[in-house]
Structure 1
């Protein structure tokens, strides 16, 4: 939107028209003064004579009639496919024999939500939220991650050799799992993570005490914590670790999207650290984690 006091916006148009109509300037003189063409000066002068100052406002560029507009019946078919199947313009266009750009214009005209804004299971618009201040809510979760056997897994050795290396007969060759305990602030997305060996209640409680101390060192006072309904989070040990000043909230059963911020952090962590390149050992991957987490907290937007 243009600035209301800029040249030849409603205020400038009114001044131009008043010079021509009220002060009897010639069209050429007014056009030179306001740095426009003579036809433009004539157009605003005529509109001022016909409608007064109200005629200086912008008018819609929409045509009065659109004889080539998509038929109403076709628009309804497009909307029905979008609502029922939740397809994009390309798939809808292929099904109905319509160009995808036409489908996109119809969807935009009726302001149908983008697919990225919808829950694919229900078709409802996803409600997104963000707390106003850091510490009002911290999302906590555990991500189970398979360890890489010494010598590398299938990403280094190939599918067959990697599987043989992973499923060796001796117990010390079986890599097992690491458990990444994560805490993500809802407002700032600041994250604290530890790579631990289990997900017991004692481990989860001790992790939260260290995470809370870390957030306090960053100047964040945690008020509420949101977790899933895992056994470690329903334990007395975790409740004692939270203390009386931090309120504990749990997600609805079978609704991981309720804890979506930490779930999205888990995905980012896997894409940008765990699976970003083929590691030859778990120790190599673990050694790369602190640098990635530092970059995530300090350099990513």
Structure 2
């Protein structure tokens, strides 16, 4: 008699009524009904103890739950979380410990309650950080071997205009090449100042900056931004200071301290403040002798660069490398697969070397862009779009991106 043709209660009743008949073969009935002998004897025992009501299915929930949290404790947890949305399990447990004493829940219990009630927001995984391994070391032997660039802390003119100087300095001669009060700290304004300096003084071999925008983006491949990618394309090496280490650019910070004297008597407007900055720069470069320069002024030591061209260079990669131009969104094609590299590298030529069947090394000039690993299409359609899984790999980390491909 197949089980699926009867309701569970009907099967129980029929089985019990046949099994209580004197001389009934319980083992044979078990085979006919497709149940174990343990189940059969359990039904018969309940029938003898409670009659037909004993055959009603009972809840399997345990009589007690030692690990269950008391209702009043759960209410207290929710009340504290509602009043203080930024409090985590550790802080909530600490407050309840003072209030409830030994009955207070542990931080683990608080976290479990919050998670079960949907009061915990899942954080996005930490993004990849393209950091600096150690202190930058570059040998400076002549003018334009290294320029340093940074924004000095801002102040306001008497009319309320914001004055935030962009400063550029030659590391060898200490000459301050620019103190420009730009309208905003964007890549476009910084590039405009640098283009004027390049036309006037020529191009340096390297430029050192901190890790702030618009010079560096630690979440972009190679730490490149649109501005730094443009500098690299001109053949200028990018030197990065370590995060939180202003001493890596100590000479520039010392110059900023001298420049701070202008904040003591702000001008009436930003335009007037720019004139004072120009006057300060003239005095710093041409009048004030520097002990580190043997009593000479920076202008006496500085010489313009012989590199004058502002035309971007074409990167040359070894013969075994592929060269691909990124589109306007920063994607390149590898064997028909569209892979995101970096927005900052839009329309730039990228070098790719195949390391294995689906893994590629990437470079932009001499800047290491890490490893790219392409995984097969998973054939999942999301909103009419096929999603191709692309994994980008660095020596010490992996991160997964999903790249849309036209269906």
**TM-score, normalised with respect to structure 2:** 0.33
Higher helix share: 1
Higher strand share: 2
**TM-score, normalised with respect to structure 1:** 0.43
